[in-house]
Every structure is written in structure tokens, then in C-alpha cells.
Amino acid sequence: MVLRVAGADPGTSSLDWLILEDGGVADQCRFIPEELQADAGLPVRWLQERGPFTLIAGPSGYGLPLVRAADCTEAQLSLMTLTRSDEHGFGGGVHGFTRLVRALRDSGLPVVFLPGVIHLPTVPVQRKLNRIDLGTADKLCVAALAVAQRPEHDTFCLAELGSAFSACLVVAGGQVVDGVGGTSGPFGWRSGGAWDGETAYWLAPLAKRDLFSGGVQSVPDPVLGRLRFRESLLQTIAGLQAVTPFAEIVLAGRLLETEPAFIDDVSADLARLASVSRLESLPAAWVKHAAQGAALLADGLAGGHHAPLVKQLRLEESAGTVLDWLSYRHAAWHETSEPRTK
């Protein structure tokens, strides 16, 4: 029996898909936001024309603990997007993410939604407190690709530098143990990274689109913005290293393609902390790393060649929701509470 799987990367600049057949690259595709805006059903038809599939790792946003698309409720769907009811229809990131997820859910395709870092049992509880984004599902997929290329017990920091957000994940002994991402992470190309609480209060009420601004592209002086990016990334990774020592930093993300000279400067900065390498792609793959990692996880979940990778990352033990660890007065969380879904 042929094992045919697919994985997605719902990035800000594009939606990438990679198909693996018996572990090898069989097909791949990139949809730009304008294509998705004109025809939200395009990715589903592309997959249907290339089936049948054993399993598909779908776009998962902030993540769900291995939920089959056919079983995904509206409450769970909202946890993948975290968009307030007064902002439904927000067009940030890849346009129509919610419509795409619903189309996949209703397609009959064997789609599963992957967890984010906060769902993993390998991350100590204290690192989850008052956090939602320790690394979204796509960042976990990039980490999975990096883990697959390294010895089973390797320890390193993955710095995923996307076209909007920056994220850093720490892998120790081959498992993800820490992370900061998106609006809790370092300065980004489009996003300003971790929010100053006073700034958030002063600008409230915030809109989802505000989370996609404030980064390098929002700073009038591009030299100043790039300097802030470099220092913020260095500070973030040094802080993670103080808790979990590592000797390697692995760079990945869209900026490696679009801003190669700037990434050379970033690499020189980070070389003060550890050796710096760049994440390699699978043979014959050109789509983004997250789509490649998602396809590996789909292969592993389907019992393929990468089943040991899924076991090593303990994906099948992922649990809870992204809201479980909030201790603010509106969150009403406590250690024995059931996972919150609304």
C-alpha cells in the first residue's frame, strides 16, 4: 500500500503544500493570498485532484491537540484563529484562513490539525503560564524538520524568521522544551513582537491587525528597525540559552530567502552565543520549511517512515487548549480545571 500524505504551511505571505509518497517528495505547490482571495476552494481542489491521501496535516493556526478535521467543532476552530466575534472577517495573514479550514473540514479529505508548542507535554508547566503562543503549529513543524535532520538526543535553538513574525524554539534531547513566538517573541519583520503591557493598554481596544504591525516595516528609519530586530533576537535567544544551554542555533524562515544580506548580519550576531547553521530542505523540496515538516509529521502519524519522529516529539500526548494557562482575572484558570473551549 502506497503511503501518500500532505502537509501545509499557512504563512503570512503564502499557503504552501507538500506531498510525500512513501517518504519522498511527490508534489508541491504555493498559493499566494490573491489567489486564495479570488477562490478559497482552490487548495481543496488541488488536493482532491492528487489524492487519495492516507493523511493530511492541515493548516492549524495556534494549534489543536491532533483533532481530525471532520470532528472539529466551531469552538475548536475559533481556538485556531483566536479572533474575537466583533472582528470576524479580519483579513490579516493568509486571507480567508477560517474559510480554508472550514473547506478542508467539509471536503471529506483525511485532514488532521496539529498542536502548537503549548499543547506539548515536553514543555514544563511553568513556561506555559500566562502564555498562548510559545510557537504556533507551523513553527512546531519547522522544529520537527530540524529534529529529523539531527541526532535523536540533539539540543539546539531554532530561530524561525518569517515575513511577519519571529519565533524561537528550544529543543533539548530531541524534544521541544521551550519557546517564544509571535506576539510574545522577538521583534519581527512586520510584527513588533512581545507587547509592552502599557502600550497595549494605551492603544486598547486592539484589533487583530495590530498584531501584524510594529515591526521592521513599520519603523520609519529602516536602519533603526533592522538594528532593533537584531538586538531583540540576540536578547531572546540569550535568555532561552540561560535556562536551557545549547551550542547550536538553527536559522529558518522566509527572511532567509528575501533578506540574505541581513541574515548574514543576524548570523554574525548570534555566533557570539553558539554555532549558527541554516535549516536544510528535504531533497527536491522548494516550499517553505513548515510545509515540509508538516508532511513529515503526517507521514509519521500515518505510521510511515517518520513514526519515530512523532513518538520522539510526543505529539500523540498533546492536550488542552491554548487558553488553559492564563491566570489573569478574566481567565479563571486553575491547575485542575478542564480545558477551556470558549
Q: Of the ranges 39-53, 95-109, 244-258, which one carries the lowest mean pLDDT score?
A: 95-109
Q: What is the pTM of this model?
A: 0.94
pLDDT tens-digit profile of 58-83? 999 999 999 999 999 999 999 998 98
> Quick check: 334 pLDDT over 80?
no
Q: What is residue 39's predicted lDDT score, i.e. its pLDDT?
A: 86
Residue 17's DSSP bridge partners are 8, 29
Let me know if the fold of 1-116+282-342 is the same as that of 150-279: yes
Calculate the average pLDDT of the chain: 92
Those residues whose C-beta lies under 8 Å from the C-beta of residue 90, and which sit 6 or more positions away, are: 83, 207, 208, 209
* Burial label, 50 (beta-carbon count in 10 A; 0-12, 13-18, 19+): middle
User: What CATH number should be reported for the domain whose range is 150-279?
Assistant: 3.30.420.40
Mean pLDDT in residue range 258-278: 98
Confidence tier at 12 by pLDDT (50, 70, 90): confident
> DSSP string spanning 188-237?
-SSB--SPPHHHHHHHPSP-GGGGG-BSGGG-SSHHHHHHHHHHHHHHHH
- Considering the segment(s) 1-116+282-342 as one domain, its CATH architecture is 2-Layer Sandwich (3.30)
> Quick check: 336 pLDDT over 60?
no
pLDDT tens-digit profile of 161-192? 999 999 999 999 999 999 999 899 999 999 99
> Where in the chain are the domains?
1-116+282-342, 150-279
Mean pLDDT in residue range 89-111: 78
Long-range contacts of 76-82 (CB under 8 A, 24+ apart): 76/113, 76/341, 77/101, 77/102, 77/105, 78/342, 79/321, 79/322, 79/323, 79/341, 80/113, 82/132, 82/322
